[in-house]
Amino acid sequence: MFNYIVRRLGQMLPLLFMASVAIFTLVSLQPGDPLDELRMANPMMTPEQFESLRRAHGLDQPIHVRYFKWLGRAVNGDLGRSRTYGVPAAEFIFQQRLPRTLVLTITSLTIALLIAIPVGIFTAVRQYSAGDYTITFFSFVGLSTPNFFLGIILLYLFVIFIPETFGVRALPPGGIPDLMWSDVQLGRVTAGEYVRQWATHLILPVFTLATGSMAAWTRFMRASMLEVLNQDYVRTARSKGVSERKVLYKHALRNGLIPIITLVGLSMPALFNGALLTETVFSYPGMGRAIFDSLVGKDYNVAMAALVFIAILVVFFNLMADILYAVVDPRIRYD
Amino acid sequence: MQTVERPRAPAGSETLWRLAWRRLRKHKLAMVSLGVLTILILVAIFAPYLAPHDPVAQPRGAGLRAMYFQPPSQTHWLGTDDLGRDVFSRLLYGSRVSLLVGFLAAFSSVLVGTIMGAVAGFYSGRPLRFYVGPFARQDVDWRLPFVLWRVLSWVLIYAALFLVVQVAWTLAERPVRAGLAGEWSPNAIASAIGLGVAVAFAAFAAWRALFSRVRLDLDIVISRLIDFMLTLPGLPILLVLSAILRDPRSGVGQWMYGTFGTASSVVIIVMILVIFGWITTARLVRAAFLSLREQEFTMAAQALGTSNTKIMFRHLVPNAMAPIIVEGTLQVGIAILVEAGLSFLGFGIQPPVSTWGNMLTNAQTYIFFAPWLAFPPGLMIVITVLSINFLGDGLRDALDPRRKQ
């Protein structure tokens, strides 16, 4: 196992190196120069001044040289400054934006799992019942709905339709509360109010983001449980007279849950893609939105920091899934 | 001359396809979905005859203000959008692009995926001769493609080594020059060592490359490529690629416009979707090939001297067709969803051409005063993708040989 982990870590480095090369190349090949806006803002700029600006930003050098300079700095912890916001890219991404997206993704992931697992078990146990058919139908609907469209529907329902029809207090149409934790520390608002405001802002985005994974995992859990329930050891347990409850939760569920680990580990990229779209619908200033804005605004340092970080996260979660898989299932050995 | 009678299937047995069709017909949801999809495709084909208005025509003349954001009415069944264009007509025309992109992208993804998976599965554990140095001892294959590849591979490898030296020199130039001038700071020493290592490595590799032979397992190459693709953050990469390929100032962009004209935006989006779309099919086909290539009929074909290409695509691919078809169906749905997402963000098909996705651009703001703009395109996406997924599910059951009826 230890050797396996070391070997996998050894494979991760070249993989991440290649990923960062690819990301850097693509981001730098984007149409338009990061300095175009500056030139547009100042029509009096002479070509010589523009050239010296390009040299100052290192843009006169070929891409591969720029990449290695970036890599050299990044390895030393210097990710450059954000051109748009004027703060260090690392601070902007990891301190401002990442926590917000993590709150969004982790809550969605937890909710999706909490709903998908019991519902999946239910549909497997009651296979071909009316409940099974209904849930299967709705999980298909969930899989077929683009998550940004779901977000738009929810926005309409909870921000416009329900308040207008029933006169109930509305959920906010998006964004984040303009409260900071320091406000609580200074005693301007209570901690309860702080949590409540965040909760009302998060409820729609979280539900939007969770639905897709919820639908997929329900179907997956159902298939996994059905396979386990047809195994010999389940029949043996039943014929020994073990109670149905115990068969289900002790014999079947423990084995049926194992493939879910891989699934959750592999769903990280999808979750971040979904976060980008969800954040756009709800104007939620998270990391997905930061990536989008930095790509459009040619803020390369921010884009590189965020995208390479996601690549690292994806590789790390894949590794964790494989390791956990072996820990949970003693039949699996990596030699 | 002897006539060889082709063996016929015994009377009363059915081909897989007829059997599958018979099973599929019993799957009610799949049949309903097939009906819905047929209607959608017909609507897309006959959109010019069905649409009451020109989908890109903007109103002119007096009273313009009243023409924008009209709610649904007798003349405009689904209202008008932010530029006064008829939403219903745009919806009909949008179905053409959305469905075309979906089917084209799925077909191309499955095609690429099948070829990659077939090559990976078939040549797994059988490394091919990949690189032969100029002075390597080896019986040389003088057929033209092999000779060309040999020469090209020399050029590539020496260009790559030159690049290594060049990068090392650019990075180390300034400190090393300073060092040579007499100031040996730690930075200058580190740079000099780095430069030395890079040059030594390049020289060693260049020497080895003259004589070495390299065999390469294509399965390992393709599997690593898939691992690599899965590390990339998908959606942002697609956004960037879309921007690069569409850039009218770049060579690629101009070539795209010159070659494909107005269709270039469809071609671009299909290419982008294929970049990540082939992976699932490739894995599937690879797994199928690993078991199929060990079976007797493959050995029989090999013993008869059939070429590898023919074995792969005439003997093995038809045997893996069932899962490929199911995967292809599901890929249509995925392609439509991804295209919608890209167009929603403004990086897909560009207006004035309408697709269901780009009709939803900015829908999250319009919803507050013109909700009729948001629902029809989104519902069309849901209905289409839902039908495709049900059909794929039905096909999976119908084509599964292990399933007893």
Residue B234 near residue B341 (C-beta atoms within 8 A): no
The DSSP string of A260-329 is: HHHHHHHTHHHHHHHHHHHHHHTT--SHHHHHHHHHHTT-HHHHHHHHHHHHHHHHHHHHHHHHHHHHH-
B245 contact A CB<8A: no
Query: What's the whole-number mean pLDDT along residues A68-85?
Result: 84
Q: Which of A132-141, A278-287, B242-251 has the lowest mean pLDDT?
A: B242-251
What SS3 class is residue B216? Answer: strand
Composition of chain A by helix, strand, coil, percent to 5: 75, 0, 25
Query: How confident is the model at residue B378, as a pLDDT?
Result: 92
Measured distance CA(B106)–CA(B335) in Å, rounded: 6
The DSSP string of A298-311 is: T-HHHHHHHHHHHH
- How many CA atoms lie within 13 Å of A180's alpha carbon, on the beta-carbon side? 3
Q: Which sign, positive or negative, has the C-alpha torsion B375, B378, B384, B389?
A: negative
Query: How confident is the model at residue B286, as a pLDDT?
Result: 93
Which among B250, B375, B386 is the nearest to A141, CB-wise? B386
B1 confidence band (pLDDT: 50, 70, 90): very low
Measured distance CA(B33)–CA(B7) in Å, rounded: 37
Residue A320 near residue A5 (C-beta atoms within 8 A): no
Task: Locate the DSSP E strands across B146-267.
Answer: 213-216
Residue of B nearest to A318 (CA): B231
Residue B284 near residue B109 (C-beta atoms within 8 A): no
Q: Which amino acid is at A315?
A: V
Which of chain A's residues have a Cβ under 8 Å away from the Cβ of B386?
140-141, 144
Measured distance CA(B252)–CA(B244) in Å, rounded: 8
Average pLDDT along chain A: 86
What phi and psi values does residue B306 have, to the nearest 5 degrees?
-70, 140
Measured distance CA(B170)–CA(A182) in Å, rounded: 47
Measured distance CA(B392)–CA(B333) in Å, rounded: 10
Q: Which of A314, A292, A313 has its CA nearest to residue A303?
A: A292
Residue of B nearest to A313 (CA): B231
HEC assignment per residue over B120-180: HHHCCCCCEEEEECCCCCCCCCCCHHHHHHHHHHHHHHHHHHHHHHHHHHHHHHHHHHHHH
B405 confidence band (pLDDT: 50, 70, 90): very low
B239 contact A CB<8A: yes
Task: Tell which B residues from 299 to 328 touch A, by Cβ distance under 8 Å.
Answer: none
pLDDT tens digits, residue range B53-64?
A: 777 777 777 677
Q: Which residue has the higher pLDDT, B20 or A239?
A: A239
Give the distance from residue A96's alpha carbon to the nearest chain B alpha carbon, in angstroms. 20
Which of chain B's residues have a Cβ under 8 Å away from the Cβ of A76?
none
B243 contact A CB<8A: yes
Residue A116 near residue A214 (C-beta atoms within 8 A): yes
Measured distance CA(B136)–CA(B153) in Å, rounded: 14
Q: Which residue has the higher pLDDT, A54 or A199?
A: A199
Residue B337 near residue B385 (C-beta atoms within 8 A): yes
CA A321 and chain centroid, separation: 16
Query: What's the whole-number mean pLDDT along residues B384-400?
Result: 90
Element (H, E) at A17: helix A2-29
Measured distance CA(B356)–CA(B381) in Å, rounded: 7
B4 confidence band (pLDDT: 50, 70, 90): low
- % chain B with pLDDT above 90: 32
- State pTM to two decimals: 0.88
Q: Which of A164-168, A175-179, B342-346, B400-404 has the lowest mean pLDDT?
A: B400-404
What SS3 class is residue B80? Answer: strand
B14 confidence band (pLDDT: 50, 70, 90): low
The DSSP string of A214-237 is: HHHHHHHHHHHHHHHHTSHHHHHH
Q: Which of B254, B276, B257, B275 has its CA nearest to residue B266?
A: B257
Query: How confident is the model at residue B134, as a pLDDT?
Result: 80
Query: What's the whole-number mean pLDDT along residues B272-279?
Result: 92
Q: Is A315 close to B231, i.e. CB distance below 8 A? A: yes
Does residue B11 carry a pLDDT above 60?
A: no
Does residue A1 carry a pLDDT above 80?
A: no
Measured distance CA(B149)–CA(B172) in Å, rounded: 34
Question: Tokens 């690049």 — which residue?
Answer: B163
Query: How confident is the model at residue B26, as a pLDDT?
Result: 86
pLDDT tens digits, residue range A3-44?
A: 888 888 888 888 899 999 999 999 888 877 777 777 777 777
Query: How confident is the model at residue A335, as a pLDDT?
Result: 62
pLDDT tens digits, residue range B352-372?
A: 888 898 888 878 788 888 888
Q: Which of A334, A245, A297 has its CA nearest to residue A5?
A: A334
Measured distance CA(A308)–CA(A198) in Å, rounded: 29
Q: Is A16 close to B344, i.e. CB distance below 8 A? A: no
What SS3 class is residue B86? Answer: strand
Measured distance CA(A253)–CA(A238) in Å, rounded: 14
- How many CA atoms lie within 13 Å of B166's alpha carbon, on the beta-carbon side? 12
Residue A328 near residue A258 (C-beta atoms within 8 A): yes
Does residue B216 carry a pLDDT above 70?
A: yes
Which of chain B's residues have a Cβ under 8 Å away from the Cβ of A153?
374-375, 378
Query: How confident is the model at residue B138, as a pLDDT?
Result: 67
Q: Which residue has the higher pLDDT, A328 or B268?
A: B268
Beta bridge partners of B128: B216
- Rg, chain B, Cα only: 29
Beta bridge partners of B86: B80
Q: Which amino acid is at B115?
A: I
B3 confidence band (pLDDT: 50, 70, 90): low
Query: What's the whole-number mean pLDDT along residues A125-153?
Result: 91
Which of chain B's residues have a Cβ under 8 Å away from the Cβ of A26?
237, 240-241, 244
Pairing label, strands B213-216, B128-132:
antiparallel
Measured distance CA(B93)–CA(B54) in Å, rounded: 9
Q: Is A143 close to B235, i.e. CB distance below 8 A? A: no
Which of chain B's residues have a Cβ under 8 Å away from the Cβ of A22?
228, 232, 237
Residue A209 near residue A105 (C-beta atoms within 8 A): yes
Which of chain B's residues have a Cβ under 8 Å away from the Cβ of A270?
234
